[in-house]
């Protein structure tokens, strides 16, 4: 930045890595980055309500979602080693595919979740009707280097959702299975036919969730947070804080990372009330 009048704060191409955008705070480059949108990901019919993310807003989400418990816990800087994950849906006026940014408690982007395999026909169905909620949904969980680390597939459904969680090479990890439709929603984590834990809604509106292991001990929590007035007024985009109480073994760790996405697709994206 050599001009007499520095640019306004915002996201600019990263000089070291063209795949990233880096946040300029008006005086200096910060450590905060986000993936640059790739041309094949862009859809000319999708209109963003907001661009980029504000690390301060992410930190405020953490404070509210954890009721002050977050902020002091150290993490390893990856999707699988951070004690707190913030999952924010990209807000669009017209949405053809779901996209989520995943951040740590300080607002640094750790990765993203991107809906893939949306054919032109599926996009038309989504644009003109609500029938898309019954069709197959496929997602890729990507790390900060844009590498796919998990794949989550929800096969076509009528009432209850089921999710297949696999590694990047599509070798199976387990399933997340919705157990009921009415009342406090429950999901089971199933690996090779054995239940290793689950997700339990704490109220009938399914805003907050407790994630438990096979001993029924809570290992994580998922809390839906307010995304802001623009998101609430013009979009269906949702934000979540995932609080992981302790390091978890596989395959439970991968199931927990996939949980916020499972909740949004199964309950929020299907909600047409």
The predicted structure's pLDDT at residue 233:
39
180/61 Cα distance (integer angstroms)? 29
Question: Which of 72-81, 138-147, 207-216 has the weakest average pLDDT?
Answer: 72-81
H/E element, 151: strand 148-154
Under the banding of pLDDT at 50, 70 and 90, the label for residue 39 is very low
**Which phi and psi angles does 176 have, rounded to 5°?**
-115, 115
Q: What percent of the chain has pLDDT over 90?
A: 33
Q: In this predicted model, which residue has the larger pLDDT, 1 or 215?
A: 215
Sequence spans of domains, the chain: 1-36, 49-268
pLDDT at residue 250 greater than cutoff 50 = yes
Cβ within 8 Å of residue 121, ≥6 positions away:
none
pTM, entire model:
0.74
The predicted structure's pLDDT at residue 234:
36
For the segment 261-272, the average pLDDT, to the nearest whole number, is 66
CA-CA-CA-CA dihedral for 113, 119, 120, 123, to nearest 10: -50
Query: Read out DSSP for 130-189?
Result: SGGGGS-EEEEEEETTS-EEEEEEE---SSS-EEEEE-TT--EEEEEEE--SSSS-EEEE
16/10 Cα distance (integer angstroms)? 17
**176 closest CA partner among 228, 211, 134, 222:** 211
Judge whether 32 and 107 are in contact, CB under 8 Å.
Answer: yes
87/190 Cα distance (integer angstroms)? 23
Q: In this predicted model, which residue has the larger pLDDT, 107 or 260?
A: 107
DSSP-assigned beta bridge partners for residue 209? 201, 222
The β-bridge relationship of strands 186-191 and 162-166 is unpaired
Task: Give the N- to C-terminal CA distance of the chain in Å, as an integer.
Answer: 49
- The conformational region for residue 185 under phi > 0 = left, psi -120 to 50 = alpha, else beta, is beta
The single-letter DSSP state of residue 131 is: G
For the segment 24-35, the average pLDDT, to the nearest whole number, is 80
Please tell me the CATH superfamily of domain 49-268, with its number: LURP1-related (2.40.160.200)
Judge whether 256 and 219 are in contact, CB under 8 Å.
Answer: yes
Q: What percent of the chain has pLDDT over 70?
A: 73
Kindly report, residue by residue over 220-239, the tens digit of the pLDDT: 999 988 655 444 433 345 78
Helices (H), the chain: 55-65, 120-128, 229-234, 252-263
């Amino acid at each position: 930045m050599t001009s007499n009048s520095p640019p306004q704060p915002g996201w600019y191409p990263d000089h070291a890595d063209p795949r990233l955008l880096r946040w300029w705070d008006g005086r200096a480059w910060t450590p905060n980055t986000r993936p640059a949108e790739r041309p094949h990901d862009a859809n000319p019919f999708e209109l963003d309500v907001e661009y980029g993310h504000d690390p301060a807003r992410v930190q405020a989400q953490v404070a509210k979602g954890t009721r002050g418990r977050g902020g002091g816990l150290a993490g390893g800087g990856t999707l699988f080693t951070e004690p707190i994950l913030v999952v924010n849906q990209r807000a669009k006026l017209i949405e053809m595919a779901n996209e989520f940014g995943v951040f740590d408690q300080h607002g640094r982007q750790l990765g993203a979740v991107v809906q893939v395999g949306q054919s032109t026909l599926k996009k038309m169905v989504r644009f003109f009707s609500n029938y898309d909620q019954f069709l197959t949904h496929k997602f890729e969980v990507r790390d900060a280097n844009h590498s796919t680390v998990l794949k989550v597939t929800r096969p076509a459904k009528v009432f209850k959702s089921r999710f297949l969680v696999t590694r990047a090479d599509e070798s199976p990890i387990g399933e997340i299975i919705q157990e009921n439709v009415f009342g406090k929603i429950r999901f089971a984590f199933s690996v090779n036919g054995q239940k290793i834990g689950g997700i339990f809604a704490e109220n009938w509106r399914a805003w907050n969730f407790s994630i438990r292991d096979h001993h029924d001990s809570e290992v994580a929590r998922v809390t839906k947070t307010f995304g802001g007035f623009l998101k609430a007024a013009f979009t269906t985009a949702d934000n979540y804080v995932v609080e992981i109480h302790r390091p978890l073994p596989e395959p439970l760790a991968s199931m927990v990372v996939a949980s916020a996405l499972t909740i949004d697709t199964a309950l929020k994206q299907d909600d047409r009330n």
